[in-house]
Amino acid sequence: MEYTQSPALTKDEIVSFLEKAKIARICSINKDGTIHSVPVWYYYENGNIVIGTPKKSRRAGNIRRNNNVTVLIDQVGPPTMGVIFYGKANIDEENMDQIAHKIFSRYMSDKEAKGYWKGLKELTEWVKVTVEPVHIASFDYSKDSKYLDATKKYTSL
């Protein structure tokens, strides 16, 4: 038996998906070579993924040491779909007020986003992380007739 990867999303489908999806998982490389994976809130802009992170977080330290990252944004299925960014992360220590508002307002009202950010920035300093893709892969199992036939056969019992 042989099975290959499911069909990809189109460019337009990727943009639409990234505007709707809520959680990204950013993976960076620890000092010992293991992978550090963390769920984060994000926004998608000009082909890049943008997140905020505490300046002294493990992911920020990992990125400063090695800026190769992978970001997975997926939708739990069935059928599952998602986008994987293999890229380079850049840290910017600019004023985070606008970036934080842009991120948080995807998840809550403007008023809540302002209050949420006010609380978070009292805890620690934050930095902006922009992930510029080197390669983008995607998958959409809803387009995969072999997958749909195989799973339908056993879920309709």
Beta strands at 68-75 and 35-40: parallel, antiparallel or unpaired: unpaired
The string of pLDDT tens digits covering residues 54-102 is 999 999 999 999 999 999 999 887 778 999 999 999 999 988 999 999 9
Two tokens, residue 48:
């890049």
> Against a cut of 0.75, is the pTM above it?
yes
Which is more confidently placed, 117 or 79? Answer: 117
State yes or no: cis peptide before 78, omega within 30 of 0.
Answer: yes
The letter for the amino acid at 72 is: L
Residues 6+ apart with CB under 8 A from 22: 41, 106, 107
How do the domains of the chain map onto residue ranges?
Answer: 11-155
Does position 150 have pLDDT exceeding 80, yes or no? no
Among candidates 52, 74, 72, 48, which has minimal Cα distance to 134? 48
DSSP E strand boundaries for the chain: 24-29, 35-40, 43-45, 48-54, 68-75, 81-92, 126-140
Which is more confidently placed, 156 or 65? Answer: 65
What is the number of other CB atoms lying within 10 angstroms of the CB of residue 19? 10
Per CATH, the number for 11-155 is 2.30.110.10
Mean pLDDT of the chain, nearest integer: 91
Q: Read off the pLDDT of each residue in 21-42 and give the average, rounded to a whole number.
A: 97
The letter for the amino acid at 65 is: R
